[in-house]
Structure 1
């Protein structure tokens, strides 16, 4: 295979660890990121998305089970129904806009959370060469308990200059 992905690191921002004026504001929101190093020769975006979908780190239901090497789920969806074709290309502005709307008004976000989101989420979106967004796949793609998330936003950030793909999931449950 011309391109392989090696898991480098993961990050997790849990909104519950920050102090909100109104404790109900965080709504059990979180951001999970998985950083994978590109190895081998560079491939096209479709090949990189396919390699990511095949990677063990992609087998995460994001509902407390963690990564399951043989898991059949990805987020709220059946893994077998996720292909590169279901992702749409978005601009950094559109990606940041989706995430900003999900986070909520800046004046309600604690300053330390805003700083962490800027560094770990928004700066990475701005630096990406290509951004892919996994939109709503419909009821037939939902797995047996796929409605556990109120909102589920997934982005694949390809940063060729850093030699990295970041799988970024922002959700609330």
Structure 2
């Protein structure tokens, strides 16, 4: 199914692009949202997760180089260790709680950041049929310099009514 997922759009939200009361509060944080179109006749959630993991858009170490078609890393993890089994199904409440804690780790964010996060992340969480959280990878899965991603969170949203799978670390 990998070749049946089509990259539709991406949105990169860098907290550095917004005015914080304390300039250090942005903490070099960002959200990189990737939308992929799923075929109308797509399989179950595990098949969609496998297709996402196999897709080129998944091969990004989030260290500034972008998608690397021959890449061996995904965020802080070795790509070869990513399987659908390492994703945990979570509720909208749980996923919003995890993200809200990360967003507000240094205090409330400016209204402009909140507005774009609401539109690009939280509204999409509310619309998703299924939400998966990358949670079952241990220390052995962290690649040689992966610990630079101190607060890496990844959610995968399946929204069948929109015909889309979205991931956002």
Q: TM-score range by the shorter chain?
A: over 0.9
- Tell me, in whole angstroms, the C-alpha distance in 2 between the residues paired with 1:106 and 1:75: 22
- Equivalent residue runs for 1:5-24 within 5 Å: 5-24=5-24
**CA offset at residue 168 of structure 1?**
0.7
How many correspondences in the alignment? 169
| 8 Å CA contact retained: 2:88, 2:136 | no
Higher mean C-alpha displacement, 34-43 vs 95-104: 34-43
Deviation at 1:35, TM superposition (A): 0.3
Report deviation, 1:52: 0.3
CA RMSD of aligned residues (A): 1.7
For the residues of structure 2 that align with 1:126 and 1:64, how far apart are their CA atoms?
29
Q: Distance in 2 between matches of 1:7 and 1:26?
A: 29
Answer whether contact 2:2 2:55 (CA < 8 A) is retained: no
TM-score by length of 2: 0.95
Higher strand share: 1
Structure 2's unaligned 5+ residue stretches are none
Matched, 1:158 2:147: no
Structure 1 runs of 4+ with >6 Å offset: none
Residue 78 of structure 1 aligns with which residue? Answer: 78
Q: Distance in 2 between matches of 1:54 and 1:40?
A: 19
C-alpha distance in structure 2 between counterparts of 1:61 and 1:105, whole Å: 23
Matches within 5 A, 1:122-161: 122-135=122-135, 137-161=137-161
